[in-house]
Amino acid sequence: MNAFNQLKGMLFDLDGVLYVGKEPIDGALDAATRIRNSHIQCRFVTNTSTLSLASLSSKLNALGFDIPADEIISAPQAALRYLQKQGDPVCRLLLADDVKQDFAAFKQSDTAAEYIVVGDIGNAWTYSMLNEVFNCLVNGAKLIAIHKNRFWQTEHGLQMDIGGFIEALEYTSGTKAMIIGKPSADFFNAALEDMQLEASEVGMIGDDIDSDVGGAQQAGLKGILVRTGKYRQSYADASPIKPDQVLDSIRDLPGLLGI
């Protein structure tokens, strides 16, 4: 029996699975539509830390994906919900300006923060900024990483992601970051709770063997790897993580699910 035929829910990574940059991946529009119109519940989960929820929804719609905002679960939104439960914390937000809009209600300080929230800030990284954050951490601030990805795929090739900066801050300060997005089990559990499904009933499709596939499997989901986006065969072959299924692209997913 094909175990994938029995799935009641699917989690989809976005960048590298549905699109790269400003271009949908071939067959992604049709595949996503077919699956969303089936009996399978869908959630679109992303570590993308450069776009607010509104901007992310607008991008998907502009690319032709008819996905409502309430089916999108982003790591920045998970961080926002966590901070809202901490009372009235003082934060330093190392986030893209668009994402910062979602965090505008929090008090902010560069040197007296209780929580340092780190996402993708592109070329804004400087030694002085890292040193300020280091000193906050030494003085007791908590480090929240939207994710800890090593690299990601752009229109211009692979690009270093924020994981290296998180690792440096952890090493120098002697602290450990709270990882909010994939591969955090809490992130996957939030998606399962939203769908009201058990982990064994849900699959995850992504181009990142570590965060997408490995994280999903650790949380009890089926992990499906696609050979698009950041996928590199040499990296996948060297990984101890063994996907439950490997597909050339998302266009092959409806067939796997028996749709």
77 in any annotated domain: no
35 in any annotated domain: yes
237 shares its domain with 175: no
Structure tokens given for 110 = 């560069």
CATH of residue 189's domain is: 3.40.50.1000
172 shares its domain with 110: yes
Domain boundary among 161, 179, 197: 179
Domain span holding position 168: 86-179
Predicted pLDDT of residue 152:
78
Domain boundary among 132, 162, 179: 179
236 in any annotated domain: yes
Rg value, the chain, Cα: 18
Domain boundary among 164, 179, 194: 179
94 shares its domain with 139: yes
Predicted pLDDT of residue 160:
87
206 shares its domain with 239: yes
pTM above 0.85, yes or no: no
125 shares its domain with 189: no
16 shares its domain with 41: yes
Nearest to 136 by CA among 115, 105, 151, 166: 115
- Indicate the pairing of strand 245-247 with strand 222-226: parallel
200 shares its domain with 149: no
142 shares its domain with 97: yes
99 shares its domain with 33: no
90 shares its domain with 168: yes
7 in any annotated domain: yes
Structural domains of the chain, count:
2
Predicted pLDDT of residue 56:
92
In this predicted structure, the answer to whether residue 1 has a pLDDT above a threshold of 70 is no
Compute the distance between CA of residue 197 and CA of residue 8 in angstroms, rounded to an integer: 8
Structure tokens given for 26 = 């071939």
User: Looking at the chain, which runs of residues are DSSP E strands?
Assistant: 9-12, 19-20, 23-24, 41-46, 72-74, 90-94, 107-108, 115-118, 142-145, 151-154, 157-160, 178-179, 202-206, 222-226, 245-247
Rounded average pLDDT over 16-26? 94
- Indicate the pairing of strand 9-12 with strand 202-206: parallel
61 in any annotated domain: no
In this predicted structure, the answer to whether residue 223 has a pLDDT above a threshold of 70 is yes
195 shares its domain with 240: yes
Q: Mean pLDDT lowest for which of 32-36, 111-115, 146-150, 167-171?
A: 146-150
189 shares its domain with 112: no
Compute the distance between CA of residue 217 and CA of residue 183 in angstroms, rounded to an integer: 9
194 in any annotated domain: yes
56 in any annotated domain: no
78 in any annotated domain: no
Structure tokens given for 191 = 């998606």
Q: What percent of the chain has pLDDT over 90?
A: 85
